[in-house]
Structure 1
């Protein structure tokens, strides 16, 4: 799946928490959010829109982050579904350090071949 196709797929299922997502779809969207964050941080800094409290985010970055939150959660849940795990596994991220490592391992694993309890394989 190409970069553009992955981004279109994620936004077409903006709040779709059912089904499955391929690894490439998840990781391309992850890269997209990183790039957008860099651009918005630069815009906030150039336009002087950083918050007074010294945080690195600003007005534009906050708005864009909120806009990307739901599709990011949705594609993460669908990625977990592809590995035959429920979306509730995202809550393991609340465990400091270990939770993030466990999620990264889940996200890089291949999906279950053929259909699973969450639907047909996205590769088919």
Structure 2
């Protein structure tokens, strides 16, 4: 998935915790929503208040993307709460977020990744 397409899909669903999000969609959305503002804030002196405001505003879109990512692997969105456990909680959650999504529809919706079609090799 193209990074721009993935980030666009993440932003279009930024306020919805329903459905599923592919790994590319989640991680590119995360980079766009946290990485770009962080780089801008680092470049602007005395912008701590902007950092605080952006952190509060961007928490909901990142949390909903994380919940949709858990849905893609067939898990409950409550696994996002692992991030609240100091030190090792984020590593456990990152392990879940890095897994392949289920290739078939699950209780959270249809598979966002089209099924892989293997064509027979002509002999």
Kindly indicate whether the alpha-carbon contact (under 8 Å) linking 1:41 and 1:61 is maintained by their aligned counterparts in 2. Answer: no
Q: Distance in 2 between matches of 1:73 and 1:36?
A: 17
Deviation by residue 1:16-37 (Cα, 9 ceiling, x = unmatched):
0000000001111122222321
Q: By how many angstroms is 1:62 displaced?
A: 1.8
Aligned-pair CA distance for 1:86: 0.5
**Bigger mean CA deviation after superposition, 94-103 or 16-25:** 94-103
Question: How far is 1:14 from its partner?
Answer: 2.0
TM-score norm. by structure 1 comes to 0.83
Cα deviation digits, residues 31-83 of structure 1 (max 9, x gap) = 2222321212322x1xx33xxxxxxxx11222222222111001000000001
Is the aligned partner of 1:19 residue 2:23? no
Q: How many residues align?
A: 113
Matched, 1:66 2:67: no
Which stretches of structure 1, 4 residues or longer, exceed 3 Å deviation after superposition? none
How far has the Cα of 1:108 moved from its partner?
Answer: 0.6
Equivalents in 2 of 1:112, 1:6: separation in Å? 18
Q: What is aligned with 2:97?
A: 107
SS of equivalent residue, structure 1 residue 100: helix
Q: CA RMSD in A?
A: 1.3
Indicate the structure (1 or 2) with the bigger Cα radius of gyration. 2
Unaligned runs of 5+ in 2: 115-123
